Structure 1
Amino acid sequence: MSRFCGAVAAGLFAALLGPMQAFSAEPVGQATLIRTEVTGEAGPLVVRSPVHRDERIRTSTSGLGQFVFKDGTKLAVGAGSTVVIDKFVYDDSDSVKRLSIKAAKGTFRWISGNSASSAYSIVTPAGTIGVRGTAFDFYVGPNGTTAIVLLNGSASFCGPGGCRQLRQQCDCVVATRGGRMTDPSQVDRRTLQTLSNPRALPFLSGDQQLSGALGGIRTSCGLASLRQDRQDRPQRQQRQEQPSPQAPQQAPQAPQAPQQTPQQAPDTPDKPDKPDHHHDWDHHDWDHHDWDHGGRDHHDRDHRGHDRDDDDHDRDGHNGHRSDN
Structure 2
Amino acid sequence: MTRSSHSRFMRQPMRSWPVKSLVCAALLLSLVPVDAEATGQATPKVGVAAAVNSSAFGTPPGGNRKTLVLGDNVIYRHRIETEATGLVQVLLVDGSTFTVGANSNLVIDEFVYDPNAGNGKLVATLGKGVARFIGGRLSKQDGGVSINTPVGTIGIRGGIANLNVGGNGGTFSLIFGDELTFTGTDGSTNRVYQPGYSLQVGNGDPTGGNVRRTTQSDLGSVQQSLSSRPGQSGGQSSPPGDGTVQQSGFGSSNSGLGTFNTQPPPDPNVVRSTEFGETDSTLLQIQQMNQERNTDVIEANKLTMDAGEAEE
Name the Cα RMSD after superposition: 2.6
Which is greater in Rg? 1
Identify which of 137, 142, 149 aligns with 2:173.
149
Separation in 2 of the partners of 1:146 and 1:87?
Answer: 22
CA contact (8 A) 1:90 1:97 kept: yes
Structure 1 runs of 4+ aligned residues shifted over 3 Å read: 189-192
Instruction: Compute the TM-score of the two structures, normalised by the length of structure 1.
Output: 0.51
Identify which of 222, 233, 248 aligns with 1:202.
222
Separation in 2 of the partners of 1:190 and 1:33?
Answer: 26
Shift of 1:51: 0.5
- For 2:96, the aligned partner's letter is T
Identical-residue share of aligned pairs (%): 30
Separation in 2 of the partners of 1:114 and 1:189?
Answer: 29
Identify which of 72, 83, 88 aligns with 1:49.
72
CA contact (8 A) 1:117 1:133 kept: no
Shift of 1:169: 1.8
Whether 1:91 aligns to 2:100 is no
| Residue in 1 that maps onto 2:197 | 171
Give the 3-state SS of the residue equivalent to 1:118 in structure 2.
coil
| Residue in 2 that maps onto 1:108 | 131
- For 2:89, the aligned partner's letter is Q
Separation in 1 of the partners of 2:218 and 2:137?
Answer: 32
Larger RCO (CA within 8 A; separation ≥ 6): 2
CA contact (8 A) 1:88 1:96 kept: no
Q: Which moved more, 1:122-131 or 1:89-98?
A: 89-98
Describe the superposition over 1:175-216 as per-residue Cα deviations: whole angstroms up to 9, x where unpaired: 133314543211226769xxxxxx7x321xx4532799xxxx
Q: Which runs of 5+ in 2 are unaligned?
A: 1-40, 235-312
Shift of 1:25: 2.3
Aligned residues: 180
Shift of 1:59: 0.5
Separation in 2 of the partners of 1:85 and 1:69?
Answer: 10
Identify which of 188, 191, 194 aligns with 1:162.
188
- For 1:125, the aligned partner's letter is P
Give the 3-state SS of the residue equivalent to 2:143 in structure 1.
helix
Describe the superposition over 1:277-324 as per-residue Cα deviations: whole angstroms up to 9, x where unpaired: xxxxxxxxxxxxxxxxxxxxxxxxxxxxxxxxxxxxxxxxxxxxxxxx
Identify which of 21, 28, 33 aligns with 2:46.
28
Q: Structure 1 207/120 Cα, relative in aligned 2: closer, same or farther at 3 Å?
A: closer
Q: Structure 1 81/24 Cα, relative in aligned 2: closer, same or farther at 3 Å?
A: farther
Q: Which runs of 5+ in 1 are unaligned?
A: 1-22, 193-198, 213-325
Instruction: Compute the TM-score of the two structures, normalised by the length of structure 2.
Output: 0.53
Whether 1:123 aligns to 2:141 is no
